[in-house]
């Protein structure tokens, strides 16, 4: 398909190149190419759907097609992890302009496959449509394997709040890109491809997590969702939050702002946030706050956060 | 939200209005509002994802928001029917411009709910994003309830080909709209909202259908997919195809073209096409052709179709 556009190549050749030699498993009864994919599950099914739109969620001059494919998978899989389910399958609906080079779609699909492999998820099928902007909607299914889902609504006074994964890296990267720079590279890469802590959703469920959410809109925003769903107050202890060196570099470069702003309000890293009885926190999770009775709200070191915010607003 | 745009109303208020008072069932463990929806199934899960893009699949001056919501559901559910599965749940990812009136989204969501009710499907969740064009991706899950899926690959020489549902109505309606007219109304309505024969996928599976596909690209195009997947030749007997009065009216109006063109090549009606042993054809299905050994190909009355085509091309 070298050098040709999607329109010149044709839908069926593009789809054939995307789906050739896809990995499969015994749980997949019917793979891509029929009216539906068919897969088997051991318990209840968790499902989430998530859209990324060109020039809203990503820019083609900031992220390569491989990055976009990986991010579309990672951000959707994180929602399944956040229910305590094992992610098993994914369908990808992709809309592209007819004049887009077919190579962009191939590289996007390599990214999708790569991140599906990282996440332990099988690409089951998809849809290819024409549109002005590149739009990717990933729908992911998780298998609860007979276990109960972990919702946002179960946090109890006395629980601790713990995190697994990075906070505020993608936001620092976006800040860098917005100012026309490409370094520190570590945070730019974090903006392009998040690294959700795959497998830790099941770990948290099995450890007895009382509530869980993935951090997509920003720590305070997502804890707000959890606090309201559970009817509890949550306090974040900033002495437990480590500012990483590249975050300090970016904060200094943008005029000495507080690097905690990235950590408290930056979204898109897809860390997992969960509440546990203090004795239940599993290895690899870090306690960063506490849950108490009170008006559903989130405080920082006991007070309302009145700093800036860099978190995600959809509209 | 009267008179306000989506951007003025805000994501969470718009989503709240969409999801308020959604019907549910015992199979839904977690509904909208958490990281995932969770539902239980009795057997393997069939899944299909399908995107509709403004000015590609629909136009806002030809279809109202209610129509668009219904069509997005119907066209996706038809794929689940075509596997012989019982459609059980749907997630809808919707991308809209910030300046779109919030009322458009409400009416779209009423259409989604209405068609979900028609199809016996529960709306489990979704995603709302910002983008230049309205883009709706419906992902539908079906429960195989312990039965085997009916793929495109099982047609056998000696089977008959049968159809359940309408052929060539939506294409006649699109022809009318393309020429600036709004009547005959029956075909225009058929373009706006297809009427897949809900429930007949399971009926066909239980009757012993050997292969099945839904007619979305056009009868000859979709039978071509089935013939290639099954490695059989399929012949369509036009003496069994009834031309409806509004189809004749439209064909005459566009210069005396053959109304059979709509029936053989028009897509978007989402009839079900299935192959059966002759004695197995269920009530409500009409035999329109036969399956034989030979090069995978589709013929019309024993010969290649050399007429015009109005069927759907994605690129």
Looking at per-residue pLDDT, the higher value among B13 and A279 belongs to A279
Per-residue pLDDT, A307: 74
Residues B169 and B132 in one domain: no
Residue positions counted in chain B:
315
Test B45 with A41 for CB contact under 8 angstroms.
yes
Whether residue A35 and residue B79 make contact (CB cut-off 8 A), yes or no, is yes
Q: What is the pLDDT of residues A35-69, one digit of tens each?
A: 999 998 888 999 999 999 999 999 999 999 999 99
Q: B171 and B210: one domain?
A: yes
Enumerate the residues of chain A whose CB falls inside 8 A of the CB of residue B130.
53, 56, 314-315
User: What CATH number does residue B97 fall under?
Assistant: 3.30.1330.10
Cβ partners under 8 Å of residue A180, min gap 6: none
Instruction: Give chain A positions within 8 Å (CB) of B201.
Output: none
Between CA A132 and CA A82, with CA B47 as vertex, the angle to 5 degrees is: 85
> Of A91, A100, A116, which Cα lies nearest the Cα of A4?
A100
Nearest CA-CA partner of A153 in A209, A102, A226: A226
Best mutation site among B4, B45, B204, B217 for testing chain A: the one with the most A CBs within 10 Å?
B45
Residue of A nearest to B52 (CA): A129
Do B131 and B172 lie in one domain? The reply is no
**Which pLDDT score, from 0 to 100, does residue A288 have?**
98
Contact partners, residue B315, CB within 8 Å, separation at least 6? A6, A7, A10, A11, A98, A130
CB contact under 8 A, A314 and B128: yes
pLDDT, residue B310, reads 67
CB pairs under 8 A between A and B: 219
What is this model's ipTM?
0.92
> Contact at 8 Å (CB) between A308 and A173?
no
Check whether residue A45 and residue A129 sit in a common domain: yes
Radius of gyration of chain B (CA): 20
DSSP element (H, E) containing B28:
strand B28-30
- Find the radius of gyration of the CA atoms of chain A: 20
Domain assignment of residue B32, yes or no: yes
**Quick check: is A14 in a domain?**
yes
**Mutation target among B36, B80, B224 for the A interface, most CBs of A within 10 A:** B36
Residue A151 falls inside a structural domain: no
Identify the CA nearest to B194 among candidates B164, B169, B220, B221.
Answer: B169
Last residue of a domain, one of B113, B143, B173: B143
Report how far apart, in Å, the C-alpha atoms of A145 and of each of A40, A45, B25, B44 are: 11, 9, 21, 14
Q: Residue B244 and residue B259: Cα distance in Å, rounded?
A: 9
State whether B82 and A35 contact (CB < 8 Å). Answer: yes
**Are the C-beta atoms of A122 and A37 separated by less than 8 Å?**
no
Same domain, A11 and A57: yes
pLDDT for B2: 58
Chain A closest-CA separation from residue B248 CA (Å): 31
The confidence score (pLDDT) of residue A244 equals 95
Res A25 pLDDT > 70: yes
Pair (A128, A38) in one structural domain: yes
Residue in chain B closest to A92 (alpha carbons) equals B49
For residue B289, being part of any structural domain is answered with: yes
Q: Which residue of A has its CA nearest to B226?
A: A34
In a domain, A90, yes or no: yes
pLDDT at A151: 96
Asked whether the beta carbons of A210 and A156 are under 8 A apart, the reply is yes
- Rounded to an integer, what distance in angstroms lies between the CA atom of residue A109 and that of residue A113? 6
In the β-sheet with A160-164, what is the strand arrangement from edge to edge? A211-215, A271-276, A160-164, A286-292, A233-236, A297-300
CA distance B59 to chain A (A): 13
State the pTM of this model.
0.93
Among the ranges given (A209-223, A250-264, B118-132), the one the predictor scored with the smallest mean pLDDT: A250-264
pLDDT value at residue B65: 97
pLDDT tens digit sequence for A286-304? 999 999 999 999 999 999 9
- pLDDT at residue A313 in the model: 57
Shortest distance, CA A311 to any CA of chain B (angstroms)? 14
Instruction: Let me know if residue A179 belongs to a domain.
Output: yes
Nearest to B45 among A39, A144, A149 (CB): A39
% of chain A residues with pLDDT over 90: 83
- Both A79 and A182 in one domain: the answer is no
Q: Are B132 and B165 contained in the same domain? A: no
Closest residue, chain B, to A131 (C-alpha)? B53
Same domain? B124 vs B178 = no
Task: Give the Å distances, CA to CA, from B36 to A38, A49, A50, A84, B120.
Answer: 20, 8, 10, 10, 21
Contacts of B131 (CB under 8 A, 6+ apart): A53, A56, A133, A135, B95, B96, B97
pLDDT of residue A110: 94
Q: Residue A310: what pLDDT?
A: 67
Look at A30 and B137 and tell me if their CB atoms are within 8 Å. no
CB atoms within 10 A of CB B215: 29
pLDDT band at A311 (very low <50, low <70, confident <90, very high): low
Q: Which of A115, A143, A171 is the last residue of a domain?
A: A143
Q: Which residues contact B116 (CB under 8 A, 6 or more apart)?
A: B73, B90, B122, B123
Q: What is the DSSP string of A180-214?
A: T---SHHHHHHHHS----TTHHHHHHHHT-SEEEE
CA contacts within 13 A on the Cβ side of B187: 30
What value does the mean pLDDT of chain A take?
Answer: 93
* Integer Cα distance of B272 and B85 in angstroms: 13
SS3 category, B117 = helix
Per-residue pLDDT of chain B (315 residues; tens, 9 = 90+): 558 999 888 888 888 888 888 888 888 889 888 999 999 888 899 999 999 999 999 999 999 999 999 999 999 999 999 999 999 999 999 999 999 999 999 999 999 999 999 999 999 999 999 999 999 999 999 999 999 999 999 999 999 999 999 999 999 999 999 999 999 999 999 999 999 999 999 999 999 999 999 999 999 999 999 999 999 999 999 999 999 999 999 999 888 788 999 999 999 999 999 999 999 999 999 999 999 999 999 999 999 998 776 655 556
Asked if A124 and A164 sit in the same domain, the reply is: no
B98: nearest CA partner in chain A: A315
CATH of the domain at A271: 3.90.650.10
- Chain A nearest-CA distance from B182, in A, is 26
Residue A314 lies in a domain: no
Is B35 in contact with A80 (Cβ distance < 8 A)?
yes
Contact B37 A48 (CB under 8 A): yes
3-state secondary structure of A306: coil
Examine residue A1 and state whether it is found in any structural domain, yes or no: no
User: What SS3 class is residue A111?
Assistant: helix
Max intra-chain CA distance, chain B:
62
pLDDT at B315: 61
Judge if A207 and A85 occupy the same domain. no
Nearest residue, CB atoms, A151 vs list B34, B93, B212 = B34
Mean of pLDDT values over A264-290: 97
Task: Note whether B48 contacts A40, CB cutoff 8 Å.
Answer: no
Q: Is B214 helix (H, G, I), strand (E, B) or coil?
A: strand
Domain count, chain A: 2
Beta strands A271-276 and A160-164, pairing class: antiparallel
Q: Any residues with CB less than 8 A from the CB of A71 and at least 6 apart, and which?
A: A52, A57, A58, A63, A115, A192, A193, A194
Q: In the numeric block, which tokens belong to residue B185?
A: 């109304």
For residue B131, which residues of chain A lie inside 8 Å, CB to CB? Answer: 53, 56, 133, 135
What is residue B43's predicted lDDT score, i.e. its pLDDT?
81
User: What is the domain range of residue A229?
Assistant: 160-300
Closest CB to B131 among A41, A53, A80: A53
Please tell me the distance from the alpha carbon of residue A100 to that of residue A6, in angstroms, as a whole number.
Answer: 6
3-state class (DSSP) for residue A276: strand
- Do residue A44 and residue A139 come from a single domain? yes
């Amino acid at each position: 398909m070298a050098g040709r556009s999607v329109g010149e190549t044709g839908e069926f050749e593009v789809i054939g190149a995307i789906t050739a030699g896809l990995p499969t498993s015994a749980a997949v009864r019917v793979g891509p190419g029929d009216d539906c994919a068919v897969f088997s599950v051991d318990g209840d099914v968790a499902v989430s759907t998530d859209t990324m739109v060109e020039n809203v969620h990503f820019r083609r001059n900031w992220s390569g097609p491989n990055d976009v494919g990986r991010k579309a998978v990672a951000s959707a899989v994180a929602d399944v992890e956040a229910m305590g389910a094992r992610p098993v399958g994914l369908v990808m609906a992709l809309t592209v302009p007819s004049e887009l080079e077919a190579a962009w779609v191939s590289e996007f699909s390599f990214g999708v496959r790569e991140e599906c492999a990282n996440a332990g998820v099988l690409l089951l099928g998809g849809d290819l449509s024409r549109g002005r902007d590149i739009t990717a909607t990933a729908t992911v299914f998780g298998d609860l394997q007979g276990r109960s889902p972990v919702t946002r609504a179960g946090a109890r006074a006395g629980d601790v709040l713990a995190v697994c994964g990075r906070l505020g890296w993608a936001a620092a990267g976006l800040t860098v890109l917005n100012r026309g720079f490409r370094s520190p590279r570590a945070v730019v890469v974090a903006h392009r491809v998040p690294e959700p802590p795959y497998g830790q959703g099941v770990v948290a469920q099995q450890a007895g997590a009382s509530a869980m959410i993935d951090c997509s809109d920003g720590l305070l925003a997502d804890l707000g969702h959890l606090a309201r769903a559970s009817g509890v107050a949550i306090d974040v202890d900033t002495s437990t939050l480590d500012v990483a060196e590249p975050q300090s570099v970016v904060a200094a470069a943008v005029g000495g702002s507080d690097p905690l702003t990235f950590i408290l309000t930056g979204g898109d890293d897809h860390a997992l946030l969960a509440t546990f009885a203090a004795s239940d926190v599993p290895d690899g999770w870090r306690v960063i706050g506490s849950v108490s009775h009170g008006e559903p709200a989130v405080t920082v070191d006991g007070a309302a956060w009145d700093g800036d915010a860099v978190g995600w607003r959809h509209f």
